[in-house]
Amino acid sequence: MGIDFIIAAIITVVGLATPILLAGLGELVVEKSGVLNLGVEGMMLVGAISGFAVTVYTFNPWFGVLGAAAGGALASLLFGVLVLQLNSNQVATGLALTIFGTGISSLMGLSFTGRIVVPFLSVFPDALAKHEYLQLIFGYSPIVYFALIMVPLTTWFLKSTRAGLILRAVGENDLSAHSIGYSVIKVRYAAIAFGGAMAGIGGCYFSMVITPMWAEKMTAGRGWIALALVVFAGWRTGRLLAGAYFFGILMALELYAKASGFSFLPSQFWAAMPYAMTVVALSFISSRGSAGANAPACLGKPFLPST
């Protein structure tokens, strides 16, 4: 079990963690603004097929990623209009988005079965990207680096910028924010669109990097893990990063256990771990009520100004 083994294992974990990190980061911002969007799985699938389709037609994976972000954002706006303008129930609307996104991506993907694109791998020169040790740093798809950069960027945005402060205020007390003069609706629209774009990019990681092809429902439920991740992280970005990699390790453990012939714990145990751990984390977070590690006070509630 030398260094090579560890490096290869880490690379697999990075691949497993990146999509949920992206979608999770997006959803974290959405929830910080007070909106619960359960449609992550649907948005990821729309992003996956959008990114794939754009890459097929333009032969350019960078456009593909943009296309994925656009697809995810568009899908999220469907949710946004219903929830923000028409005050529809967020839980039901999010679920409808998931079902819709799954169906529409399948429909869009029909003409793409059997096609492949060149995988969107590292843009660094082979000497670095394929180097025995340096590949640990340089061997990843640009999407991975994007995800990692977005973590501190999002943290900075939420903590240190005025816009981020407003967003958090909207999430904690929308009526007060409204009375001070901030447009709750505009802020939430922006957050929702951001969440959609990130979920879309997370989705295209499946269709452009892991297995550069399209298959129906290819995100295989990772959108739900991303939702769990946001809660598990207590709505904090640093914990989200750690949580994404933790979940990634759990997923990899399942496969390594199987491939090594270990059967003392059933594989379903590992597969259930991310969800079970989230429930446990939820209990700790929700009961202690410490500021910052709690759900945004307005999460899931419609914005109903009296004026």
Segment (H or E) for 3: helix 3-32
Instruction: Identify which of residues 115 and 151 has a Cβ nearer to other proteins in the complex.
Output: 115
Q: What's the distance, CA 126 to chain centroid?
A: 29
Q: What is the dihedral of CA 152, 158, 162, 168, to 10 degrees?
A: 180
Shortest distance in whole angstroms from residue 25 CB to other proteins? 18
What residues from 256 to 285 belong to the interface with other proteins (CB under 8 A)? 256-263, 266-269, 271-272, 275-276, 278-279, 282-283
Instruction: Identify which of residues 79 and 194 has a Cβ nearer to other proteins in the complex.
Output: 79
- Among the listed residues 3, 107, 123, 165, the single contact to other proteins using CB under 8 A: 107
On whether the CB atoms of residues 21 and 241 are closer than 8 A, the answer is yes
Shortest distance in whole angstroms from residue 163 CB to other proteins? 27
Total of chain residues touching other proteins, rule CB under 8 A: 79
What residues from 22 to 41 belong to the interface with other proteins (CB under 8 A)? 36, 38
What residues from 217 to 236 belong to the interface with other proteins (CB under 8 A)? 218-222, 224, 227-228, 231
Q: Quote the DSSP letter at residue 115.
A: -
Instruction: Identify which of residues 192 and 218 has a Cβ nearer to other proteins in the complex.
Output: 218
What residues from 120 to 159 belong to the interface with other proteins (CB under 8 A)? 121
Give 211-276 as a DSSP string: SSB--TTTTTTHHHHHHHHHHHTTT-HHHHHHHHHHHHHHHHHHHHHHHTT--SS-HHHHHHHHHH
> What is the C-alpha separation between 305 and 138, in angstroms, rounded?
50
Shortest distance in whole angstroms from residue 108 CB to other proteins? 10
The encoded tokens of residue 35 equal 């909106």
Q: What distances in angstroms separate CA 205 from CA 20, 27, 209, one per listed residue? A: 10, 17, 5
Closest C-alpha to 10, from 114, 147, 133: 133
- Among the listed residues 2, 5, 133, 162, the single contact to other proteins using CB under 8 A: 5
Shortest distance in whole angstroms from residue 288 CB to other proteins? 9
- Among the listed residues 58, 59, 110, 163, the single contact to other proteins using CB under 8 A: 110
On whether the CB atoms of residues 177 and 186 are closer than 8 A, the answer is no
The interface region with other proteins, picked from 143-151, 159-167, 170-178, 216-224 by CB under 8 A, is 216-224
88: alpha, beta or left, given left = phi > 0 and alpha = psi -120 to 50? beta
- Would you give the binding string for other proteins spanning residues 54-83, x where CB under 8 A is met? ------------------------x---x-
- Among the listed residues 18, 33, 76, 93, the single contact to other proteins using CB under 8 A: 93
The interface region with other proteins, picked from 65-73, 91-99, 160-168, 177-185 by CB under 8 A, is 91-99
